[in-house]
Structure 1
Amino acid sequence: MITKGAVKPAQVTKYAHLEPLPDPPKVIKMEQFKSINLFASVLSARFADRGDVLISGEGYVCRARSDLNPLFVPDAVFVDGLEDPDGIISTNGYVIDEVGKPPDLVFEAASKSTGRRDLTVKREGYALFGVTEYWRFDPSGGVYHGVALAGDRLIDGKYEPIEIHEQPDGLLWGYSAVLDLHVCSDEKQLRFRDPANMEFLLDNVEAQAEVERLREQIRRLKQG
């Protein structure tokens, strides 16, 4: 199970007595990797000052250790309001009964081998688990999921589609109440937008470019 965020000093966690779950099979395809990495890196930067947030992936999600049916390995999860996110990571998975709540949001990036399962078995399973929002992104533009971007919100135990808007420039977006962000598909790339100022959150490359731009601007100002 992986996560992105600030490194914290080692400490005994509330989950230290639990045996870690086994490593899930490595199934991430190259076409999925960029989207999953963007989800983790951009949101980790957004919530960097929140010590109660878990942004992670590559680990099992199940209801209980004694009940592994269904058992899923989502591409990424987002959970807030946690007492010990690092402790959960140490268990190598997300066991709902141990944590006390299901993930607030699950994200799946499509591939040829996973697309159909994302739309059927996983959608049903995440609703059963009580996951508040389930977002699906298809980097192919819709070949594997039928659409480039889709989201569901849990209402009375059932998923209801989140409205996806299309702008004149082709940008697709839907509002995530969990993240308080727009989840976007921009020319087959996953992006997040702040509804407060309608600006995109920067990925690592864009953030570094912005830092360099500001440094150059400061240098020129100093030179007069």
Structure 2
Amino acid sequence: MATKRHPYGALDEDLLDAYPDVWGPLPDPEMQEKPQWEIMDAVRSWYGQRSDVFVSGNTGIYYEEGNPNAVVRPDCYVVFGEGAERLWNPYAYRVWDFGATPAFVLEVGSKSTWQNDLGYQRDLYARLGVDEYWRYDPSGGDYYGEPLVGEYLERGEYQRFELQPGPDRMILAHSRVLQLELRVRDQQLEFHDPQTGEILVNAIVQRERRLAAEAEVARLQAELRRLRGE
């Protein structure tokens, strides 16, 4: 017999059979997969252990109970609400379980997904009531026509956030939902604390920087030993 822990989206074999997490193309490993994980890690680092925030991505969001074909898979999404920390399920998020659609959605552009992101999914997110819809193009604009687009929902229609120019050809915009500043610099998306200007560094980048620092220390120590004739 299947174990059920409905309604908070924990493992439920019967529901997994009814609403499987298999839909649409897998992420483009070159253009989407790495940015997806970096984006989710950065946003999670901003909210820490808050119990009213759920951050995920590339999992099925089912938005019509009884219709397993009514599903969409954003690259990153954020849900707010008391008890949101109990939503974690590696398989799927069912809107009717929690009673809320994501407030923030971000898609990463690729050759296989950009048309869907600009058309069908944009209309769907507006219909579902997603407050902010962002699109990041790691190619610099080959897919969306520009590196970054942020939109907010107003009277059922998406309106664009104003993009501000920054130094070194950087562009930036402010997310009201996340209370963060999104910046694209050298085709890389960064999340900044608007109060301190600090970059939210994800776990992957932190590890890369730590390993690079350790390697540099080892190199300097070896050079010092050589100069001492050791």
User: Could you tell me whether the CA contact under 8 Å between 1:13 and 1:84 is conserved in 2?
Assistant: no
User: Could you tell me whether the CA contact under 8 Å between 1:13 and 1:87 is conserved in 2?
Assistant: no
Separation in 2 of the partners of 1:22 and 1:116?
24
1:21-43 Cα distance to aligned partner (Å, 9 max, x none): 21224510121112101111111
What residue in structure 2 maps to residue 93 of structure 1? 92
**CA distance 1:212–1:12, shift in 2 (3 Å):** farther
Shift of 1:13: 5.8
What residue in structure 2 maps to residue 28 of structure 1? 27
Secondary structure of 1:169's aligned partner: helix
Secondary structure of 2:66's aligned partner: coil
1:189-214 Cα distance to aligned partner (Å, 9 max, x none): 1110111012211222543447997x
User: Could you tell me whether the CA contact under 8 Å between 1:24 and 1:58 is conserved in 2?
Assistant: no
User: Could you tell me whether the CA contact under 8 Å between 2:87 and 2:93 is conserved in 1?
Assistant: no
Root-mean-square deviation (CA), in Å?
Answer: 2.5
How many residues are aligned here?
203
1:159-209 Cα distance to aligned partner (Å, 9 max, x none): 111111121311111100111001111111111011101221122254344
Separation in 2 of the partners of 1:24 and 1:85?
23
User: Could you tell me whether the CA contact under 8 Å between 2:64 and 2:70 is conserved in 1?
Assistant: no
Matches within 5 A, 1:9-28: 14-15=7-8, 19-20=15-16, 21-25=19-23, 27-28=26-27
**CA distance 1:69–1:156, shift in 2 (3 Å):** farther
Secondary structure of 2:133's aligned partner: strand
Higher helix share: 2
Separation in 2 of the partners of 1:61 and 1:108?
14
What residue in structure 2 maps to residue 66 of structure 1? 66
The amino acid that maps onto 2:77 is V
Separation in 2 of the partners of 1:136 and 1:57?
14
Shift of 1:96: 1.9
1:66-93 Cα distance to aligned partner (Å, 9 max, x none): 2456431111111122414334526x22
Mean CA deviation greater in 124-133 or 39-48: 39-48
Shift of 1:62: 2.9
Which structure is larger by alpha-carbon Rg, 1 or 2? Answer: 2
What residue in structure 2 maps to residue 114 of structure 1? 113
Aligned pair 1:77/2:77, yes or no?
yes
1:106-139 Cα distance to aligned partner (Å, 9 max, x none): 1100000101110111100000000011110000
Task: Mark the runs of 5 or more structure 2 residues left unpaired by the alignment.
Answer: 218-230
Query: Identity over aligned residues, as a percent?
Result: 31
1:26-66 Cα distance to aligned partner (Å, 9 max, x none): 51012111210111111111211212211111222232222
Separation in 1 of the partners of 2:49 and 2:67?
34
Separation in 1 of the partners of 2:114 and 2:170?
22
TM-score (norm 1): 0.81
**CA distance 1:69–1:155, shift in 2 (3 Å):** farther
Secondary structure of 1:153's aligned partner: strand
**CA distance 1:189–1:167, shift in 2 (3 Å):** same
Task: Mark the runs of 5 or more structure 1 residues left unpaired by the alignment.
Answer: 1-10, 217-224
